[in-house]
Amino acid sequence: MTLSRRTFLGSSIVGASALATGRRRPVWAQGAPAAVTSEAARPRLAHGVQSGDVTGDRAIIWSRADRPSRMIVDWATSERMLGAHRVVGPATLAENDFTARVDLGGLPTGQEIFYRVRFQALADERAFSAPVSGRLRTPPAARRTIRFCFSGDEAGQGWGINPEWGGMKMYEVMRKADPDFFIHSGDQIYADGPIKAEVRLDDGSLWKNVVTEAKAHVAQTLADFRGNFAYNLLDDNKRHFTAQVPVLVQWDDHETRNNWYPGQTLGDERYTERSASLLAAYARRAMFEYNPFRIDPVDPERIYRSFSYGPSLEVFMIDERSYRGPNTPNRQATLDAESAFLGAEQLRWLKRALLDSRATWKVIASDMPISIVVPDLNSDVPKGTYEAWANGDDGPPLGRELEIASLLGFIKNNGIKNVVWVTADVHYASATRYDPGHAKFTDFTPFWEFVAGPINAGTFGPGDIDKTFGPDVRYQSVPPGMKQNRPPTEGKQYYGMAAIDGATEVMTMSLHDITDAVLFKVVINPERG
């Protein structure tokens, strides 16, 4: 079911503060709030509502006000909000950039949940914002057909929100596809990519961006990073999408700065703050504040986590930024702190979580692809260094490839079946089948990797392919020798869609462009036993 057009009248701001689980009880007042003396006293929401990190009976609901106020969420299993329950959430204050979230609990499984968000001003408790509505689906307790989409890379390379072109069109395309949830594979913002008011295209026409102060320069303060996330939520398509489709979010490099790694000292002259670790701390906080992210109470900076979506699917969101070693030629012979990509602790967690999973399909949501070679071309790093897993030598695993080899060997040796990888990062779409029969490293079972993106950014590629793990590239969306950084107007924007049949558990994976044309499709039968 889709929400009616009326449901989305009005506007809202999306954000996230410290996790707060409100008190759940029946709505005590169905009528209008008390009259206020001035419209100016009412809180405003300008960037929408969001849901995310949905589990069997829980979901994070997120929004943002324009002043100190208290978040109130009503939810029900009918669009008319019959028998609604109310959760009184946290106060939103300047220290959290007026963002707030509520962790709804006790939700029925396998249901459409409708919710409505309002804010009550703290300075005048008679003053309430206009309500803004959304919906989500909770995971099923038994088998049913599940559909999810994935992509990444938005507002990059100077291609921001262009209302004359229709804004970030990909979000509307994905919304109409009506997925159960969306995996954002990273580069949700380009903190290192200022946006100008106009960009001249090759045909002489102008691309006209919405511009804000935060997007006029590289992000170096917490306010800058917050402004980058807030900028993307000015897009109508994204707000409508997040109000209807729950999101799972991870990060990549551009949430901070291109190709960064912990401990790096930047040589980029645009920056007065040169510590990548400090910039990343600002970026992480802003990302948590501006997304429906469930904060880990034990490790509040942790991004990697997993989500069970009924008996057919579990999603493993990994973090290839926080624990990596420096970008190097990536030829280390041993797995150590310098060659780390996931890091020892996260790699142990992922192995254990995959082993413990009872889901038929295990989807690993990765920041970066496995075999596409991504050199670090920043001017402030030595030449011949690499940003991703692959090192471009086609030989036995070395450097960061050692972690992949360790993981793939573990999956095979423990009989873990039906593992699929999804990712973004490289700004084109591809489908790759990995086969030990064609690999230098052979201790693994065959698997698929799918790449999609960008959502609204420049199109690049295709990248060179490292043959260490036997990649057979079945599809790539851009031709060799293509001129790089193609604008969204050329239509080379991509997303992926997975559909798991409720009866057979067969997975159909497809790659789509901005017109929703199916560019590639493959049917994958689950292995049993």
pLDDT (tens digit per residue) in 163-222: 999 999 999 999 999 999 999 999 999 999 999 999 999 999 999 999 999 999 999 999
Q: Is the same domain home to 370 and 488?
A: yes
According to the model, what pLDDT value does residue 26 have? 35
According to the model, what pLDDT value does residue 32 have? 41
Residues in contact with 358: Cβ distance below 8 Å, sequence separation at least 6, in sequence order: 311
Query: Is residue 334, in this structure, part of any structural domain at all?
Result: yes
Q: Is the same domain home to 20 and 91?
A: yes
Amino acid at 3: L
| Phi–psi pair at 30, nearest 5 degrees | -90, -15
1 band by pLDDT with thresholds 50, 70 and 90: very low
Is residue 36 over pLDDT 60?
no
Query: Is residue 10, in this structure, part of any structural domain at all?
Result: yes
**Rounded mean pLDDT, 372-389:** 95
According to the model, what pLDDT value does residue 28 have? 31
Query: Is residue 178, in this structure, part of any structural domain at all?
Result: yes
Query: Is residue 51, in this structure, part of any structural domain at all?
Result: yes
Give the domain-ending residue among 137, 172, 192.
Answer: 137
Residue 38 burial (10 A CB sphere; 0-12, 13-18, 19+): exposed
How far is Cα of residue 346 from the mean position of the Cα atoms in its chain?
A: 19
Residues in contact with 490: Cβ distance below 8 Å, sequence separation at least 6, in sequence order: 459
Q: Is the same domain home to 338 and 401?
A: yes
User: Domain limits at 68?
Assistant: 5-137
Is residue 156 over pLDDT 60?
yes
Q: What is the mean pLDDT of the chain?
A: 93
**Rounded mean pLDDT, 363-381:** 96
Give the domain-ending residue among 89, 114, 137.
Answer: 137
According to the model, what pLDDT value does residue 37 have? 56
Q: Is the same domain home to 170 and 308?
A: yes
Percent over 90 (pLDDT), the chain: 92
**Rounded mean pLDDT, 232-243:** 98
Note whether 372 and 391 are within 8 A (CB). Answer: no
Residue 397 burial (10 A CB sphere; 0-12, 13-18, 19+): buried
Is residue 257 over pLDDT 70?
yes
Query: Is residue 299, in this structure, part of any structural domain at all?
Result: yes
How far is residue 296 from each of residues 60, 302, 376, 380, measured CA to CA in Å? Answer: 13, 7, 32, 35
Is residue 5 over pLDDT 90?
no
Q: Is the same domain home to 500 and 369?
A: yes
Q: Is the same domain home to 90 and 237?
A: no
SS (H, E, C) 91-140: EECHHHCCEEEEEECCCCCCCEEEEEEEEEECCCCCCECCCEEEEEECCC
According to the model, what pLDDT value does residue 38 have? 79
Q: Is the same domain home to 133 and 151?
A: no
Which stretch of DSSP H or E encloses residue 172? helix 169-177
**Rounded mean pLDDT, 48-52:** 97
Query: Is residue 298, in this structure, part of any structural domain at all?
Result: yes
**Rounded mean pLDDT, 285-305:** 97
Residue 282 burial (10 A CB sphere; 0-12, 13-18, 19+): buried
Give the domain-ending residue among 137, 161, 190.
Answer: 137
Residue 388 CA to residue 186 CA, distance in Å, equals: 14
Note whether 384 and 442 are within 8 A (CB). Answer: no
CATH number of the domain within which 433 lies: 3.60.21.70
18 band by pLDDT with thresholds 50, 70 and 90: very low
Q: Is the same domain home to 351 and 435?
A: yes
46 band by pLDDT with thresholds 50, 70 and 90: confident
Q: Is the same domain home to 78 and 161?
A: no
Is residue 278 over pLDDT 70?
yes
Residue 236 CA to residue 73 CA, distance in Å, equals: 22
**Rounded mean pLDDT, 463-476:** 98
Residues in contact with 382: Cβ distance below 8 Å, sequence separation at least 6, in sequence order: none
**Rounded mean pLDDT, 110-124:** 97
Q: Is the same domain home to 95 and 162?
A: no
Query: Is residue 529, in this structure, part of any structural domain at all?
Result: no
15 band by pLDDT with thresholds 50, 70 and 90: very low
Residue 198 CA to residue 205 CA, distance in Å, equals: 10
Residue 266 CA to residue 304 CA, distance in Å, equals: 26
Residue 440 CA to residue 242 CA, distance in Å, equals: 43
β partners of residue 343: none
Residue 437 burial (10 A CB sphere; 0-12, 13-18, 19+): exposed
Note whether 19 and 302 are within 8 A (CB). Answer: no
Number of H helices, E strands in the chain: 6, 23
| Phi–psi pair at 40, nearest 5 degrees | -65, -20
Query: Is residue 360, in this structure, part of any structural domain at all?
Result: yes
Residue 56 burial (10 A CB sphere; 0-12, 13-18, 19+): middle
According to the model, what pLDDT value does residue 295 have? 96
Q: Is the same domain home to 188 and 82?
A: no
**Rounded mean pLDDT, 223-250:** 98
According to the model, what pLDDT value does residue 433 have? 98
Considering the entire predicted model, what is its pTM?
0.93
Number of domains composing the chain = 2
Q: Is the same domain home to 171 and 84?
A: no
